Structure 1
Amino acid sequence: MQGRRITIAAMTETVLLALDTSTEFCSVALLCAAGPDAGAAVPEPRAWTRHEATGAVSSTRLLPAIGELFDEAGLALADCDAIAFGSGPGSFTGLRTATGVAQGLAFGLDIPVVPVGTLLVCAENARRRDPAATRVLATLDARMDEVYWADYAWDAAAGDWRVVRAASLDAPAAVVAPDEPFTLAGNAADVFGERLAVASQARVIDREALPHALPLAFAALRAFRAGRVVPADQAAPEYVRNKVAQTTAERLAAKAAQTAAPAAAGAVGSTTGEGRR
């Protein structure tokens, strides 16, 4: 989702709250960062996080976790300059949870919202874990035998990511590899194995580079300072997929295909002689 650019006044410190419930984790981060006008040697932002496996009940944990972080930081919600959220793709319910909480808090505080794609968060997570990860193919299990994926290149001059291929939804075999050495981020390699053909071409596979509020906060901080924000009432999830489950016919067809595949393989092996041992 593209937000309109809003000019952000120079500031000495930025307080940014980041939320992500796109997966089975309830992830919250609070970032307190010195402004770029604070001097040549800008200190690393102070950060507080909660990242907990909550399953389907992230909505009940999100607000308490936010309160805990502000208490730990000695800050108040009113100190916030912006609220970021993982806009998707991901769990439909989780995306709506993070969007709704971000909207509600930002509206009450009269501050902007920063939507950040979850695949970009995977790329940011990979680069923070490995500075050499400057070309990242982010891939996440989309269920229903499909993959969410996007291709990002780090622009050192701009100090930000460039989108090579925007977030897409495809079968594992249809994911396209970058044209240079790359890091494969996310969980799709574990889920699909050899069916995700691009995995064999990766320089590195980073299975831990998953959606998390801390890398989300760092990506959002850059977006906020560049003015890539939206008013609270314009925040919206980026589903990528337009349905949450297969129809009955699709499930039956998929089951029939899975049943037929071994039989077909055996028939081919028998014809070529490879099926006999």
Structure 2
Amino acid sequence: MMKKLQILAIDTCTESCSAALMVGDEIIADSKVAPREHAKLVLPMAKSLLAQAGLSLSQLDAIAFGRGPGSFTGVRIGTATAQGLAFGADLPLLAMSTLQALARQGYRLSDIPQQLVAIDARMNEIYLGSFCHHQGDFVPQQPERVCPPEQWRDVVDESKDYYATGSGWLAYADKLAPMPNHVVHHDIDLFPLAEDMAYLSQFAWQRGEAVDAADAQPVYLRDTVTWQKLPGR
């Protein structure tokens, strides 16, 4: 039986800033789309959730954070914030994939096991991931990559149906259309959420992926990222 964990999760990797607190089987969460306010919002969000649960940082098992890919600045803010909290409370960190978190969100919306995730990486590229639901977790089917949007077909099995989600589909709709029949639905106006990272963190914990704060590493997939507001946002 999996241990009932108490884990705080934060994410600032994309335009959405979010925090979530998992206490056993319950998750409470908060989020706001505010791409230039992450550094100001994320700590108050986390502290509010802890206060709601009547917990202190020292009572947690670990802190999970969005390790990327995403905005270069956002990934750094989230990593540094998580490290600061973990150092102060002597807690381990769990580095969570933004693409995997989006896959879990897509599954919650669709109940389709195969999830195809694309986040706009700017410079005519996407961050791309393919995941399959397995006993609550989401197993990567291919290594996460940054690539031209047209290359998304390289990570799919045309004999399976997929649910596609993420800002990459919106940003490069002209290059991706028409979508083939085996990509059955797509929710494009979604961002990764800490609540999904909190849920997924229990599997990362079980796999022994918790690390000391000093050893936590962001994942950029490329060295520099320019993050700009999407049209109409």
TM-score (norm 2): 0.89
Structure 2 unaligned spans of 5+: 227-233
Report the CA distance shift for 1:99/1:115 in structure 2 as closer, same or farther (over 3 A): same
Q: How does 1:151-162 map to 2 (within 5 A)?
A: 151-156=130-135, 159-162=136-139
Separation of aligned partners in 1, 2:207 and 2:7: 14
**What amino acid sits opposite 1:178 in the alignment?**
V
Point out the structure with max Rg over C-alpha. Answer: 1
Deviation at 1:187, TM superposition (A): 1.7
Give the corresponding residue for 1:173. Answer: 150
Deviation at 1:222, TM superposition (A): 1.6
Residue of 134, 141, 144 corresponding to 1:164: 141
Percent identity, aligned pairs only?
33
Give the corresponding residue for 1:134. Answer: 113
Deviation at 1:207, TM superposition (A): 2.2
Deviation at 1:185, TM superposition (A): 1.4
Deviation track 1:73-124 (CA, whole Å, cap 9, x = no partner) reads: 1111211111001111101111111111111111222221110111111101
Counterpart secondary structure, 1:47: strand
Give the corresponding residue for 1:146. Answer: 125
Q: Which has the higher helix share?
A: 1
Q: CA RMSD in A?
A: 1.9
**What amino acid sits opposite 2:222 in the alignment?**
R
TM-score (norm 1): 0.75
Structure 1 unaligned spans of 5+: 1-9, 34-44, 246-277
Deviation at 1:53, TM superposition (A): 2.0
> Which structure is richer in relative contact order (CA contacts within 8 A, separation 6 or more)?
2
Equivalent residues of 1:188, 1:196 under 8 A apart: no
Equivalent residues of 2:146, 2:222 under 8 A apart: yes
Deviation at 1:198, TM superposition (A): 7.5
Q: How does 1:1-277 map to 2 (within 5 A)?
A: 11=3, 13-33=4-24, 45-131=25-111, 133-156=112-135, 159-176=136-153, 177-179=155-157, 180-197=160-177, 199-201=179-181, 202-245=183-226
Deviation at 1:149, TM superposition (A): 0.3
